[in-house]
Amino acid sequence: MATRLTGADKREERRRRVASGDMAAPADSGYGIQGRAIPIEEKPHKTPPAPVAPTSQERVSSFGEALWRFFCSVRLAMTLIALIVIATLIGTLLIQMPPELQGDPASRTMWVKGLAPRFGDFTGIMYDLSLFNLFTSWWFKLLLLVLTLNIVVCTLNRFPKMWKQSTQTRMDVGPNFFTHGEYTATIALPVAPAAAEQQLAGVLKRRHLSVRLRQPIAAGKDQAATGAYAVYADRFRYMPLGTYLNHVGIVLIFIGAIWGTLLGNSIKIVDFAVPEGGDRAVGYDTNLMVHSNGFTEVDYPDGRPADYYSDIVLYENGKQVAQQRIRVNEPLEYKGILFHQAFFGNAADIKVTDDASGALVYQSSVSLAYRSQMYGPNNPMGSFSLANGAIQVDVVEPAGPGDPSLRPGQVGLAMYRVTDDHQLWRETLSQNQSVRQGGLTFTFLRERQFSGLQVVRDHGVTVIFIAVACILTGLALVFYFPSRRLWARVESDAGGAIIHLKGQAPRRADLAREMMRIAEHLKAGGATIHAESPAIIEQRELFAEMGG
Amino acid sequence: MEKMNFYMLVAGTMTMAVAGGFYIWYVLAQGVLRRSVSANMANTAGGTSSVTMSEQVKQPRHPAAIYAQVVNWVGLVFLGLAVFARWMAVGHAPYSNQYEFGTAFTFSIVLLGLILMRQFRQPTLGAFISPIAVAMGIYVLTLPITLRQVSPLIPALQNPILTIHVGVAIVAYGIFAIGFAAAIMYLLQRDGGEKRTWLPSRAILDDIGYRSVLIGFPLMIVVLVLGGVWANIAWGAFWSWDPKETAALATTLCYGVYLHAHSLKSWSGNRAAWLLVLGFALTIFTFFGNYFLGGLHTYGGV
Ligand code: HEM
């Protein structure tokens, strides 16, 4: 169906073509089509095939070039980020292996076997694809690594150009410059060009632009130039460089994460249980010892916890160095090591004596900080070793008041041979009850509570904070200080002056509105608007309709 | 106060439904009004790239737009009172369970919608934003009654960082709802040929969508960071791939893809608009994540 285009349709059609990039970019602008500061490389330029066979050195350099170009691409960036999004979504929807299992092949296999009813035959494949430990898998790390390379190469590639664009703008431009572009206007003033130029500069300043060029155009440079002026003004011209701060910040995050886990002398103990009145050494390179003066839980009347805290004393080389009541939101910090209140539970005081000599073999509080399947599905469990680690004794308490195998106040003891995990015996004990086994007497003295701490030293966190500051500053500079520039050419015209205006801005930055306001200011000073580009007209229509 | 919160929420949701009706009326009327305007323009305009401006015509505002805006403001006041009443009732910022969070989310959609409509002079947006707000309001009202009862905070949540963390998230989610509305309108508006007179031009809709991300993206980063800071204090780990924080990261990264797409010629336009739709879908996924994701965020008896 052939329809005739009306003027409005043609405008729309043209805007569409400009926006979709069918039309040529102005060659003199250095900006891309939508007034963007950096024309992004859409497709790598294909190097024409060489007429003669390339030498090996040439081949290497062209391979290097191709690789470089590959890593420059913003499309690659989008693809990588999209892949990461998909991976993280899988990671949120699929159950992930608890971190404490990852180091132990046996319990890992057990855990995966438990998934078989849910995923059937796919379980094995899914496990092989690391879908259950996605965030520590090699392919997820590879994605992050390629992304980092992408950012680094892209930044190195574009920085010189961006820097040049921010520092050396072309300020004097020829008359043809004003005939195309998304943001142009022609405005007539009933005064001489010199006065019009004065007026324009005033308006630009009032709109917070810094006027950096006001200069008569030399006669003879082009024929329309007699009595003409060139004006250039801009605002926030360095702000687009914030992009680099942003992307450097992203790279720093990865560095921070690696720093914390690999390079730094980090500490991460997630199951640091200290019984009330007991001590426990931190280990690693520290000479720290944690002593708990007690754990307290305060409940709301409905039984939900209102507050819980541990009173902790810290000793270094036997000397007290810190003392604090630690809560969930109030960890103790000493020399960069943080002691967090993380969990709590019961501990059982166990005494072991040698039947023959009567000597004390073992006496301590055993924190029941783990879970056991020995008696029921979910019994709190702790353990201690005897005979230089050859023997392990597990201590279990009831899973709850309704536990069929253990009554409240009882504990279960089970002894294992560590070499083959063989259970030697198993007994249930009430308070102050003893059991004789293998020439030893085991006594359950009493129950108490333990404080479950998490002990962490992570220098990577500092790097991450710096990274985040970079990212947010960079984004703020780019997003909220919109860079824009404006060129004007003031010519004499039939007894008055005519101003040709053209604006450019990366990310458009409300430029249509800005140009409209400038025109309005000039209009208030007696000017008439001769022509405006469609984008500005559209703004004007909106403001006319909905109020300024 | 608990009762007042509930009644205000009911009133706010109903008022927003009425506002939505007026907005839709405005949009329908706009179809006719605009057509005559563009016919006028076609008569005066030349076929050149720049159009000579004749006397500027001051268009009268259609009354439906005014009714819609007034009713919208009333709805905002009701929802604001609902949030305020809840705050008073629980004695802390009211975002500790899905009921409170949802109430604040509804308020935030309506408030940010009004601000962006005012900024871009686009009442048409209201026809798309109000239904989202109403849907969210109805969802909150139909939540189990146990969530409406005031219950005290568990110790881990008693931290001002967390209050800011959730408060900022509510603003970010709200602005993404506006971006979603703009993207839907963008996709409805025709690309070439005769444009739909009852919708703003694609250029303006693209601007609105982009603006929503310029605000929402940095806020989401703030949300993630504050979450990390809090987790670092409370649990000793800045980031632990907790499902809900991971979902929030995925949402943020989706808008990151959008920011890059928007700057590529071949990806701006329809594809960028679809990314805004996807981004909001992920936002909703994150918002409802408490239900099926598990992890540290399953607080407040949801
Ligand atoms: C997770 C990783 C990334 C995030 C969160 C991210 C974030 C951002 C953000 C927020 C912007 C908008 C600010 C601006 O326009 O200056 C942006 C722009 C940009 N990014 Fe990224 N980025 C990431 C990765 C990359 C990578 C790998 C590249 C390398 C090709 C890249 C290249 C660019 C470029 C060239 C721009 C400027 C686009 C324009 O001209 O408007 N980004 N990025």
- Cα distance from A355 to chain B (closest Cα, Å)? 45
Residue B52 lies in a domain: yes
Backbone angles phi, psi at B95, to 5 degrees: -135, 35
User: What is the extent of the structural domain holding B200?
Assistant: 167-302
**Amino acid B147: pLDDT:** 77
Residue A64 lies in a domain: no
Residues B92 and B41 in one domain: yes
Residues A395 and A505 in one domain: no
Take residue B83 and report the two structure tokens written for it. Answer: 């949030």
Amino acid at position A530, single letter: H
Residue A52 lies in a domain: no
Residues B204 and B271 in one domain: yes
Residues A305 and A452 in one domain: yes
Single out the residue in A163, A193, A214 at which a domain terminates: A163
Residue A60 lies in a domain: no
Atom in ligand 1 nearest the alpha carbon of residue A71: 30
Q: Is B29 on the interface with A (CB under 8 A)?
A: no
**Amino acid B55: pLDDT:** 39
Residue B51 lies in a domain: yes
Residue B232 lies in a domain: yes
Is residue A197 scored above 70 in pLDDT? yes
Q: Please, what is the average pLDDT of chain A?
A: 79
Q: Collect the ranges in chain B with pLDDT lower than 50.
A: 39-58, 296-302
Residues B210 and B285 in one domain: yes
Tell me the C-alpha distance between B228 and B234, whole Å.
10
Residues B300 and B229 in one domain: yes
Q: Do B121 and A546 touch (CB under 8 A)?
A: yes
Residue A58 lies in a domain: no
Residue corresponding to tokens 């090996």: A56
> Which residues does chain A have within 8 Å of residue B203's beta carbon, measured at their own beta carbons?
15, 19, 535, 538
Q: Of the candidates A6, A530, A547, which has its C-beta nearest B42's C-beta?
A: A6
Atom in ligand 1 nearest the alpha carbon of residue A74: 30
Residues A370 and A432 in one domain: yes
Nearest to A280 by CA among A291, A270, A293, A268: A291
Residues B82 and B17 in one domain: yes
Q: How far is CA A502 from CA A39, A235, A433, A540, in A?
A: 19, 14, 93, 17
Is residue A23 scored above 60 in pLDDT? no
Residues A280 and A398 in one domain: yes
Residue B162 lies in a domain: no
Residue A50 lies in a domain: no
User: What is the extent of the structural domain holding A159?
Assistant: 74-163
Residues A312 and A348 in one domain: yes
Residues A450 and A464 in one domain: no
User: Can you spell out the DSSP letters for B110-176?
Assistant: HHHHHHHHHHHT-GGGHHHHHHHHHHHHHHHHTS-GGGGS--PPPGGG--HHHHHHHHHHHHHHHHH
Residues A89 and A135 in one domain: yes
**Amino acid A516: pLDDT:** 92
**Amino acid B78: pLDDT:** 94
* Ligand 1 centroid, distance to A475 Cα (angstroms): 10
A189 forms bridges with which residues in the sheet? Answer: A497
Residues B91 and B205 in one domain: no
Q: Is A4 on the interface with B (CB under 8 A)?
A: no
Residues A376 and A289 in one domain: yes
Tell me the C-alpha distance between A394 and A366, whole Å.
9
Atom in ligand 1 nearest the alpha carbon of residue A243: 16
Residues B144 and B176 in one domain: no
Share of chain A above pLDDT 90, in %: 20
Residues B185 and B91 in one domain: no
**DSSP for residue A30:** S
Residue A216 lies in a domain: yes
**Amino acid A471: pLDDT:** 97
CA B39 to chain centroid, in Å, comes to 34
Q: Do B218 and A475 touch (CB under 8 A)?
A: yes
Residues B175 and B284 in one domain: yes
Tell me the C-alpha distance between B117 and B125, whole Å.
7
Residue A213 lies in a domain: yes
Question: Is A77 touching ligand 1 by the criterion CB < 6 Å?
Answer: yes
pLDDT digits (tens, 9 = 90+) for A389-415: 788 888 888 877 777 777 888 888 888
Chain A, residues 379-438, CB within 8 A of chain B, namely none
pLDDT digits (tens, 9 = 90+) for A438-469: 888 898 888 888 888 888 888 888 889 999 99
**Amino acid B291: pLDDT:** 66
**Amino acid A32: pLDDT:** 30
Residues B57 and B2 in one domain: yes
Q: Is A163 on the interface with B (CB under 8 A)?
A: no
Q: How many CB atoms lie within 10 A of CB A225?
A: 19
Residues B187 and B284 in one domain: yes
* Ligand 1 centroid, distance to A81 Cα (angstroms): 10
Q: Is B289 on the interface with A (CB under 8 A)?
A: yes
Q: Which helix (H) or strand (E) holds A208?
A: none
Q: Is A74 on the interface with B (CB under 8 A)?
A: yes
* Ligand 1 centroid, distance to B203 Cα (angstroms): 22
Q: Of the candidates A338, A532, A544, which has its C-beta nearest B50's C-beta?
A: A532
Residues A184 and A246 in one domain: no
A–B interface: beta-carbon pairs under 8 A: 197
Tell me the C-alpha distance between A335 and A457, whole Å.
9
Residues A149 and A182 in one domain: no
pLDDT digits (tens, 9 = 90+) for A146-169: 999 999 999 998 888 888 878 877
Tell me the C-alpha distance between B174 and B105, whole Å.
6
Residues B136 and B225 in one domain: no
Region A311-320 average pLDDT: 84
Residue A68 lies in a domain: no
> Which residues does chain A have within 8 Å of residue B257's beta carbon, measured at their own beta carbons?
78, 81-82, 85
The total number of structural domains that make up chain B: 2
Region A170-177 average pLDDT: 82
Residues A276 and A361 in one domain: yes
Q: Is A80 on the interface with B (CB under 8 A)?
A: no
The total number of structural domains that make up chain A: 5
Question: Is A291 touching ligand 1 by the criterion CB < 6 Å?
Answer: no
Backbone angles phi, psi at A449, to 5 degrees: -105, 160
Residue B116 lies in a domain: no
User: Do strands A184-189 and A411-417 pair parallel, antiparallel, or not at all (unpaired)?
Assistant: unpaired
> Which residues does chain A have within 8 Å of residue B244's beta carbon, measured at their own beta carbons?
92
Residue B105 lies in a domain: no
Is residue A520 scored above 70 in pLDDT? yes
Q: ipTM score of the complex?
A: 0.88
Tell me the C-alpha distance between B150 and A369, whole Å.
33
Residue B137 lies in a domain: yes
Residues A443 and A371 in one domain: yes
Residue corresponding to tokens 């690789």: A67
Tell me the C-alpha distance between A241 and A481, whole Å.
11
User: Whose alpha carbon is nearest atom 8 of ligand 1?
Assistant: B256
pLDDT digits (tens, 9 = 90+) for A209-236: 999 988 888 766 555 556 788 999 999 9
Sheet holding A288-299, edge to edge: A279-281, A288-299, A305-316, A319-327
Mutate to test the pocket of ligand 1, among B260, B262, B263, B267 (most ligand atoms within 8 A of CB): B260
Residue B6 lies in a domain: yes
**Amino acid B96: pLDDT:** 76
